[in-house]
Amino acid sequence: MFDVQQLAFEAAWDKTISKQDREEIELAFQKSLTKLKDEAIPFTTIWIAQNYKEELLVTALVHNQTNEPLRFHQTSVELWDGDKRLANHIFTIPSLHIKANTSMPWTFIFPRESYELPETIKNGKLKLGKGAEE
């Protein structure tokens, strides 16, 4: 018997997320279940945007397919478009705790100096970087 992946929202997200965004995330979660790979921690990109500080905001579902809780402490996260790495940053996110066999949406904020964007992004995907602590 395999463990079923569950969708969860971090407490602050759960209180503040709009109905429309929640529905879009739930739909992305349902679609992603058929596409999850054998990676322990795959990501499903939902939105990519820039804010007024020119930080890159990448909202994605983080799928913890392991039997252990996941925390981001000095964890390298990269944004790829095909075979080109667009962004790389080391994240420590004390409030992000993802239980085993759980998917959770999160917005990763890449500082301006950590990315270089092309004119368009065709298929932006987050990945754990090399040397990431899991």
Token digits of residue 54: 């020119």
Distance CA 50, CA 68 (A): 33
Spatial separation of the C-alpha atoms in residues 122 and 83, rounded to whole Å: 11
- Residue 76 is encoded by which pair of tokens? 């390298």
Integer Cα distance of 32 and 62 in angstroms? 11
**One digit per residue, pLDDT tens: the chain, 134 residues?**
356 899 999 999 999 999 999 999 999 999 998 888 778 899 999 999 999 999 999 999 999 999 999 999 999 999 999 999 999 999 999 989 999 999 999 999 999 999 998 888 889 999 999 754 44
Q: What is the three-class DSSP state of 36? A: coil
d(CA 98, CA 22) in angstroms, rounded, equals 18
Q: Which pLDDT score, from 0 to 100, does residue 100 have?
A: 94
The residue type found at 68 is: E
Which among 98, 117, 95 is positioned nearest to 50, based on CA atoms? Answer: 117
At 1 the pLDDT is 34
Question: Bridge partners of 108?
Answer: 58
